[in-house]
Structure 1
Amino acid sequence: MVASRLPPAALTLKQFLRRQQVLQLYRKILQAIRQVPNEADRHYLRDWARAEFKRNQDATEEDTIRMMITQGNMQLQELERTLKLAKS
C-alpha cells in the first residue's frame, strides 16, 4: 500500500507524508501481531499483513489509498480489541 514506487527524492511532499502514514500503519500492525499468543496465528497474521501491503503497493489513486489506510486502521483496532479481550 505504498503511495509510489518512485525513489524518495522524486516524491512530492504529499506522497512522502502518505508513504510515512502507510509505513507507520504497517509497523503498528506488526507490533500488534507480536502480541498474539499462538505462534501459528501470529505467523498467519504476519504473512497476511505482508501480503496485503505488497498487493496494494502500486496503488496511486489518492482516494483509494486513503480508503485502504482507513480500513487498515479499523482492522488494527479490531485486532487490538480482540487481544485485550483475550487477556481479560
Structure 2
Amino acid sequence: MAASRLPPVTLTLRQFMRRRQVLLLYRKILQAVRQVPNESDRKYLKDWARDEFKRNKSVTEEDTIRMMITQGNMQLKELEKTLALAKS
C-alpha cells in the first residue's frame, strides 16, 4: 500500500513563529505538570492541557492566537507559583 503524500504546507515566517510559540508553551506546560506530586492531579492537568490544545488547533485568527498564548503563559506561571509554594 503506497503512503499517501500530503501537499507541502507553505507558512509565512509569522505563522511559523506563532506555531513555534504554541509548541514551546505546550512543552513548558507538560514539564510543569510532571512536577505535580499527586498522580491523579497530574493526569487531570495533562489531559486538560492536551484537550485545550486539540480543541483550539484550528484557530487561525492572529489576534485570537496571541491572546490564547498570553492566557496560556499566565496559567503556566500560576501553576509554577503553586508548585513552588507546595515545595516550600
Alignment TM-score > 0.5, same fold: yes
Matches within 5 A, 1:1-88: 9-88=9-88
> What percent of counterpart residues are identical?
79
SS at match of 1:10: coil
CA shift for structure 1 position 40: 0.3
State the distance in 2 between where 1:9 and 1:46 align: 29
Alpha-carbon distance in 1 for matches of 2:33, 2:15: 27
Rg bigger for which structure? 2
Amino acid corresponding to residue 43 of structure 2 in structure 1: H
Contact 1:8 1:16 in 2 (8 A): no
Distance 1:83 1:62 in 2: 31
Runs of 4+ in structure 1 off by over 6 angstroms are none
Deviation at 1:9, TM superposition (A): 4.1
1-structure distance, mates of 2:17, 2:40:
34
Q: Distance in 2 between matches of 1:30 and 1:58?
A: 21
Q: Deviation of residue 8 (structure 1)?
A: 6.8
What is the TM-score when the length of structure 1 is the normalising length? 0.90
The one-letter code matched in structure 1 to 2:13 is L
Structure 1: unaligned runs, 5 residues or longer: 1-6
Aligned length: 83
